[in-house]
Structure 1
Amino acid sequence: MKPKFISISEDIIEKIKSGELQPGDRVPSENELIKQYEVSNTTARKSLLEIESRGWAQRIKGKGTFVLNRTEDHHILRTLGSIDSTRRGFNESLKAEGFNPKNIVLEKTILQHGVSSEISGKHYIMEGPILKIHQVRYADDIILKDEIKYISLKLCPKINMMSTEISYFKIYEDKYNLKISDIKQNLSTMILMPQAEENNFEVSDPLPAFVLDSVVLCCSDTVVEIEKSYYRGDKYKFAIVANPEYYGNSVNTERKI
């Protein structure tokens, strides 16, 4: 008969293999395993260590144990329309999947004029002054994302003094006490030619890319952030949230490639 901690670890690994737990998702904590399987804290701890030792997850101190990215094609799955997914932030998500994130800032400046974005046929306008941040995002040594963010300095004064490696979403909520009400997003595709001005991916061949236009809303549909980003099409897959219920409630998702 298998030890209990082996049975629990195999149960969780099966959930990872089936896709119920995705790369970057948090594995149930010790306390959650104790309650779910009615075991001791020693057994729960050994279960998590077993999952980690077999290469399916890794522990991040102070945060928990997260599923590693072991997909054969090395695609990274991201969920559109999910506040919880956005709250985690780019760097934190990659660390949870076992990658080493790095950012290089190409531009960081303050604009006095406003900017706008069209999402699903509706225009969203953010008045100045605005912080513009243009950076490329790495996982290990590969550029995965070329990102431009515009952030309202009216709503977030002195946010330009902070590191660009933070999760801005958490800062909006925790430092500026903004209640995020919605995220509007458009996802399209294009081919980036090597010589194109907007191609910062350091590739010599045409590159398929996802183009994500995003608006973060708070305080009665006030725009706090506008983003336009390019994602490597050969490295990403996206999931879509259908009828999301935010802040900890369950959601239904439909995966899209």
Structure 2
Amino acid sequence: MKPKFITISESIIEKIRSGELQPGDKIPSENELIKQFKVSNTTARKSLLEIESKGWAQRIKGKGTFVLNRTEDHHLVRTLGSIDATRRGFNEGLRAEGFNPKNIVLEKSILQHGISSEISGRHFIMDGPVLKIHLLRYADEVIIKDEIRYISLRLCPKINMMSTDISYFKVYEDKYHHKISDIKQTLSTTILKPGDEDNNFEVEEQIPVFVLDSVILCQPEQVLEIEKSYYRGDKYKFAIVANPEYNDTSKG
């Protein structure tokens, strides 16, 4: 008969194999395993260590244990429509999957006259002043995302003084106490050639990219953030949450 901690670890690994738990997802904590399987803290701890030792997950101090990215081509899975995924933040999500993130700031400026964007057939306007942040996002020294983010300085004063390594979504909620009411996103594709003016991926061949346009709204229907980003098509896969719940708990 198998030890209980092996049975528990195998059940969680099977969820990872089946795709029920995706790379970057947080697996049940020690306390959650104790409650779910009615076991001691020693058994629960050994279960988590067993999953980690087999290379399925890694523990991040103070955060929890997360599913590692074990796909052969190391495609990163991103979920559209997920409050959890947005709240977790880009860098934290990469670390949870076992990658080393890095940001390079290409531009950080203040636009006095505001901006507008059309997403899902609707026109969104953000009044000035607006913080514009243009970042190159790296995973293990490879540029995987070219991100331009616009943030309302009227709704988030002095956010321009903060590090670009933060999860902006968490800052909107925790520091500025905004109630996020909706996230609108559209995903399209294009091809970037090496000589294209807007190609910052440092590649010598043309590459497919996903183009993500999004807007974050806070109550009462105010435009808090607008984003336009390029994701390397050979590094990403996208999943969709059809009916996200705002009050779900954070996975990271």
Instruction: Answer whether TM exceeds 0.5 for this pair.
Output: yes
- Deviation readout 1:80-131 (Å, 9 max, x if unpaired): 1111110000000000000000000000001101101101111000000000
Q: Which residue of 1 aligns with 2:236?
A: 236
Q: Which residue of 1 aligns with 2:98?
A: 98
Q: Does 1:188 align with 2:208?
A: no
Q: Which runs of 5+ in 1 are unaligned?
A: 250-257
- What residue identity is the alignment partner of 1:229? S
Aligned residues: 249
Q: Which residue of 1 aligns with 2:9?
A: 9
- Deviation readout 1:36-82 (Å, 9 max, x if unpaired): 11110000000000100110000000110000000122111111111
Distance in 1 (alpha carbons) for counterparts of 2:203 and 2:135:
17
Stretches (4+) displaced over 3 A = none
Q: Does 1:148 align with 2:151?
A: no
Q: Which residue of 1 aligns with 2:24?
A: 24
CA root-mean-square deviation: 0.8
How far apart are residue 141 of structure 1 and its match?
1.0
Q: Which residue of 2 aligns with 1:129?
A: 129
Paired residue secondary structure (1:242): coil
Q: Which residue of 2 aligns with 1:88?
A: 88
Asked if the contact 1:68–1:98 (Cα under 8 Å) also holds between the matched residues in 2, the reply is yes
- Deviation readout 1:173-212 (Å, 9 max, x if unpaired): 0000000000001100000011001100000000000000
Asked if the contact 1:84–1:247 (Cα under 8 Å) also holds between the matched residues in 2, the reply is no
Q: Which runs of 5+ in 2 are unaligned?
A: none
Distance in 2 (alpha carbons) for counterparts of 1:61 and 1:17:
24
Q: Does 1:206 align with 2:202?
A: no
Distance in 1 (alpha carbons) for counterparts of 2:120 and 2:171:
27
Paired residue secondary structure (2:241): strand
- What residue identity is the alignment partner of 1:206? Q
Distance in 1 (alpha carbons) for counterparts of 2:215 and 2:167:
16
Paired residue secondary structure (1:202): coil
- What residue identity is the alignment partner of 1:212? L
Distance in 1 (alpha carbons) for counterparts of 2:122 and 2:189:
20
Name the TM-score, length of structure 2 as normaliser: 0.97
Asked if the contact 2:136–2:146 (Cα under 8 Å) also holds between the matched residues in 1, the reply is yes
Paired residue secondary structure (1:85): helix
- What residue identity is the alignment partner of 2:15? K
Q: Does 1:168 align with 2:194?
A: no
How far apart are residue 243 of structure 1 and its match?
2.2
- What residue identity is the alignment partner of 1:213? D
Which protein has greater RCO, CA pairs closer than 8 Å, 6+ apart? 2
Asked if the contact 2:193–2:207 (Cα under 8 Å) also holds between the matched residues in 1, the reply is yes
**Percent of residue pairs identical:** 80
Distance in 2 (alpha carbons) for counterparts of 1:51 and 1:241:
27
